[in-house]
Amino acid sequence: MTTAESCPRETESNTDTVFSDPTQNVTLKEMILGNTAETASGFLCIMCGSIVKSKRAVHMHVRDQHFAPNLKYLCPMCKKVYKNKNSFSKHISLNHRDLKGLNLDAYIVRHDDFTFDLKQE
């Protein structure tokens, strides 16, 4: 893909499809909510004990560190690979403004599926 017109701009996210557990019929959002808790000092990741200041940060932590460590995001324009959705989103907003509204989850790739060396950000 070399132009913004060839990139999907779906409004519906496929994150739940990618991360859902079909054996338990549980979505990613439900898995994240079930593994976090609010405490007096911040928000706790029940899986590893990490405490962060915001609810958003703990949700990103659980998603990226515990449920998707082998999933990366591949930029359709410059072919760089990003380790999490937040870094990919930041890259798109800073470098490819014409892709505003891009469905980021459409560009998830499995890290162990790479057959060529890509620069990772």
Across 1-121, the runs of DSSP E, i.e. the strands, are 36-39, 42-45, 51-52, 71-74, 81-82, 108-110
Domain extents in the chain: 15-69, 70-121
Tell me the average pLDDT across 92-100.
91
Count of CB atoms situated within 10 Å of the CB of 60: 16
CA nearest to 66, candidates 103, 36, 24: 36
End-to-end Cα separation, the chain, in angstroms: 20
What backbone phi and psi angles, to 5 degrees, belong to 84? Answer: -155, 170
pTM passes above 0.75: no
Say which residue the tokens 């549980």 belong to: 26
Position 107 scores a pLDDT of 87
**C-beta of residue 55 within 8 angstroms of C-beta of residue 46:** no
3-state DSSP assignment of residue 13: coil
Q: What is the pLDDT of residues 12-65, one digit of tens each?
A: 344 444 455 555 566 777 888 888 999 999 999 999 999 999 999 998 888 888
